[in-house]
Amino acid sequence: MSDSDAPGGRESPGIRTDPDADADAEVQTDADPDREFAHTRSPSSSLKSEAKVETETGTDTSIDIDIDFAKVFQALPSPVMLLAPDLTILGANRAYVQISGRGLDELVGRFIFDVFPDSPTEEASGARTLRTSLERLLATGERDTMALQKYDVEVPDRPGVFEERYWSTVNIPVLDADGRVSLIAHRVEEVTALVRARKAADRTPGTQHASLTTLSHEDAMTADLLTRSQELQELNEELRKAHARTHEVAVTLQRAMLPGTALPRHDFAAVRYQPAASFLNVCGDWYDLIDLDEDRLAAAVGDVVGHGLEAAGVMGQLRSALSAAIRATGRPADALTTLAQHAHTVEGALATTAVQAVIDRAAHTVTYSCAGHPPPLLAHPDGTVELLDTATDPPLAASDDTIPRTQATVSYTPGATLVLYTDGLIERRTEDIDQGLHRLTASLKHHHTLPPEPLADAILTDLVPAPRRGPDDDTALVVIRL
């Protein structure tokens, strides 16, 4: 183990030292029950609240309540350990210290799986299952309740010797103002005695009643439920493996339908592609970059209604059709007219939006057409940002698609930047889409001098901060330096 892994060997993220708390710790006597835990206090551990109490006369009287949350934490009967997002142990209450058999100096500042490694036996899975739960919490920002876990613990002062232990575990996120996980409360309840009692009853035919009468009726029921919980956990693990296989197939399929996000032939362009959370990491958004000839580049993005495999399948058909149409016609309006007519034959294509642009580097022009899609942005070298919203028609299959669609042409100065995107970049459930469009315009104006790759990253940072569950909608972004 490196020095940085030793207790106190590295500074834990998110924890501030309180000089006053250290001073308090110095003057505490050995009789003070908070002495060992004094260093866990922080400047925000005490909160003064105002409460209203109704008196006998019926009037309300305000009183101040001074709450020491460090003492509350230590008084909790349930064992709780606090973890940083990198899974470094930041603290633990008395109940946890007692049940783990390890002092705070053996816990604080160390990586959780260094302190609690998995048993070397082949069937051991406690650490792996716990890590999966914690990673799921960090990815979603949501509480993760684990089923009964067999997680053997190394006996203190006996390296390599593990004791069979069973736990009921809940991992609880603490979120910062931006919705990021800043702290994890890892709460456990040990149920080893109950599991052993249940196993003993099952192993001894005819003595089940006698074995369980050593427990209360409630504990006997708990033991039985815990056993069933373990069976459900094993089934859940099988389902997760099946889900992982499905996810792998889905991602492979989507990669086959889209050009790579690394564009070695187009170092002047950058692409970012983010499916919405909880949809197998596949979605109905698409992008495309096609060399029509030596001087002309076709760029497109589109958005199929819905998420997941079904939307991805529709996306694959429409992307291929639009790619063929723009190669055949060379005109954005004609290509989208053809695609709109084709969309009537594709189930699930109704209300799909798309934008097709053709960049002519010899003429220094961008010709574009939008089918119900958010307008592209053109950032000029002087920092002004132009909204390309002149040629906008209804979404695919949503109107009379025998009517030719419109297109418009704008000029640019070399060094300008064209940005195409899907609505997941700018839409938020709680606000008007114009607010998101304004944010994108401001971000592009601020960062327009950056090369395409860092510019794409800067735009995502400005518009898609790490939310609690990942993006609300699929997001595709194409940045092209003209």
Give me the residue label for tokens 């010709």.
Answer: 367
pLDDT at 38: 45
Between the alpha carbon of residue 310 and those of residues 306, 314, 346, the distances in Å are 8, 7, 12
pLDDT at 443 over 90: yes
Q: Mean pLDDT across the stretch 278-298?
A: 78
pLDDT, one tens digit per residue, over 317-374 is 888 899 999 999 999 999 999 999 888 888 888 889 999 999 999 999 999 999 999 9
pLDDT, one tens digit per residue, over 73-110 is 999 988 999 999 999 999 999 999 998 888 999 999 99
Q: Mean pLDDT across the stretch 40-44?
A: 44
**Apex CA 216: angle with CA 213 and CA 217, to 5°?**
90
Nearest Cα to Cα of residue 91 among 77, 75, 105: 105
Percent of the chain at pLDDT > 90 equals 35
pLDDT at 266: 67
Phi, psi of 30 (to 5 degrees): -60, -20
Higher pLDDT, 380 or 152: 380
Element containing residue 171 per DSSP (H, E)? strand 166-175
Determine the Cα–Cα distance for residues 36 and 28; give it in Å rounded to an integer: 10
pLDDT at 222: 60
pLDDT at 174 over 70: yes
Give me the residue label for tokens 């020095």.
Answer: 3
pLDDT at 18: 42
pLDDT at 88: 94
**Apex CA 105: angle with CA 101 and CA 107, to 5°?**
65
Residues 6+ apart with CB under 8 A from 167: 148, 149, 151, 188, 189, 190, 191
285 pLDDT band, cuts 50/70/90, is confident
pLDDT at 16: 37
pLDDT at 388: 96
Q: How confident is the prediction for the chain on average, in pLDDT?
A: 77
Lowest mean pLDDT among 367-381, 414-428, 459-473: 459-473
